[in-house]
Amino acid sequence: MDFKVRVRHLLKGKYVNLKSFTPLTFTFPELLKIQGMHEFITDNGNIYPDLVKSFLNHFTLNLNDNDKHMLFATVRDCEIETNLGMLAASLRIPYSGIFLRKGVNHVDGKWAKYDKMEYYYSICRFPRVVIVSGQRTSRTLCYAKILSVDDRMLHYVICHVLLPKDSNLSQIDDLEMQVMFAVKNKIKVN
């Protein structure tokens, strides 16, 4: 069974130097280390952007006979076949924990107290009344500009490095809010 993958232009890979954020001022680098993401997002180590770009441009995702997802690609005349767990291990990306998806509410453990808007109001610099009164629509939008500096930098790393997107980087979507909640509450995410 083949999956149709929407073809998009690849975004330029971005990395961050976590050592430039002092531990006395910023707490998010330590929280990213707890998640196991620090090696994946830092700008040092064995990074071969041209090979990664070639792999990402040419991979296909298929189900094998055991109903496991497999990635297939050809890079520099070398055929690569791997599953998602092996790919995560080779990139040193954690492959355990909760799967996050847009619009899905998790009700187990620490997620029971997660509500997107309540969490957003709890990490903002201003009280809820000020935020709601400043909105021009009945729908409350979540903007990064009114977060604390530490939370704003965490959002920056999430939306520029971990989950890059092309537009409206200042607005926090549901998936980014879930990742922020998980990182700040030390919940392992996959």
- Please give the structure tokens belonging to residue 173: 């979507």
pTM: 0.63
Residue 1's pLDDT is 45
Element (H, E) at 154: helix 149-157
Q: Region of 99 please: left (phi>0), alpha (psi -120 to 50) or beta.
A: beta
Q: Region of 174 please: left (phi>0), alpha (psi -120 to 50) or beta.
A: alpha
Spell out, as residue ranges, where the chain has pLDDT lower than 50. Answer: 1, 3
Count of Cβ atoms closer than 10 Å to residue 123 Cβ: 20
Residue 34's pLDDT is 80
List all residues 6 or more positions away from 42 whose beta carbon is below 8 Å from its beta carbon: 15, 16, 17, 18
Cβ(47)–Cβ(93) below 8 Å: no
Point out which residues pair with 98 in neighbouring strands. Answer: 189
Which among 172, 154, 182 is positioned nearest to 16, based on CA atoms? Answer: 154
Cα Rg, the chain, nearest whole Å: 19
Cβ(85)–Cβ(71) below 8 Å: no
Question: Three-state SS across 19-34?
Answer: HHCCCCCCCHHHHHHH
Which among 4, 8, 28, 6 is positioned nearest to 18, based on CA atoms? Answer: 28
